[in-house]
Each structure stands twice: as structure tokens, then as C-alpha cells.
Amino acid sequence: MDLMALIEEMEEMIEKSPRLPLTGKIFLDSSLVLDFLDRLRTALPEEIQRAASINREKERIIAEAHLQAQAIIAEAERRAEDLAQESEVVKLAKIQAGELLNRAQKTAEELRSSALNYADGILSQLEAHLAQLLAQVRQGRKELQAYPLKGSKEKPSQEG
């Protein structure tokens, strides 16, 4: 279930709720609010699973970059060995092997850096989204707790 859709649905319910004259306060059906909270609670694990999936993808990209780097290094070493067998080109072989090794290491680092930046960006967006949802839920609870209970002149006790 999409968290943003739930939030939009809750906003619409709040906007359409009857208002108390002169106070700006609204009447909300507690069963509807509790239903929304249950649906939000159900949707949060999906967002967390999505974040875990992104993290797994990051790890896969890093592992793939590492394998590519190892393959490039192995190829560089093989090529260097082949070149070293020819006495006239030993010096050239060492130079080319070093260049290949440097290129492989640079490529591996670039791939790793890109994967980490991508995963961090996605997780940052998810964190901001979850923080926004939490703030909205807390504000909703705060507003609900401000209403006196039916038949009681006291405010309900504040939890959490």
C-alpha cells in the first residue's frame, strides 16, 4: 500500500470533516482515524522492505564491481605474464600491467562510489518520507488528544 496515498486520503478526510464553529477544530470519527493508523502501520513494513531491497541492490552492485575489478586485474596479470615471456617487451609488459591495474582499481572505486551514493540517496529520501509521515501521525494524535472524552470534562491522558 502506498504511504502517500494513505496520507492524501487522510488529508481529504480531515478537510471534509465538519468543523466546530469559531474554533477551527474538526470532528473526526475515531474508528476512521484508527483504521487509517492501522493501514499506515501495515504500509510501513513495505517501505522498510523497499529500503532493505535497495540496500541489497547496493551490496550486489559493490560485489559486482569487486568481481569486475578482480577480472580486470587477473586479465592484466595474465597479459603481463604473457608479455614478460618475450624478453624484448618485458619493460613494456610491466608498464601496461601497471596501467591496467591502475585502471582496474580506478574503475572498481568509481563503481563502488556510485553504488554507495545511489543507495545513500534512496535511503535519504526514504528517511525524509518516513519522518514526514511520523510527524503527521504525531500531529494527528495530538489533535485527537485535545478533544474531551464524551461524558468527561477532563482531557484524555497523553501517551507516547
Domain boundaries in the chain?
3-8+29-145
Give the highest mean pLDDT range of 20-34, 56-70, 90-104: 56-70
Burial class of 129 by CB neighbour count within 10 A (0 to 12, 13 to 18, 19+): middle
What is the per-residue pLDDT for 62?
92
Alpha-carbon span 21 to 5, nearest angstrom? 30
Could you read off the pLDDT of 125-139 as tens digits, one per residue?
888 888 898 898 899
pLDDT confidence band for 151 (50 / 70 / 90): low
Alpha helices in the chain (DSSP H): 3-16, 30-84, 90-145
What is the per-residue pLDDT for 68?
92
The DSSP annotation for 136-149 comes to HHHHHHHHHHTSPP
Mean pLDDT for the stretch of residues 19-46: 84
pLDDT confidence band for 13 (50 / 70 / 90): confident
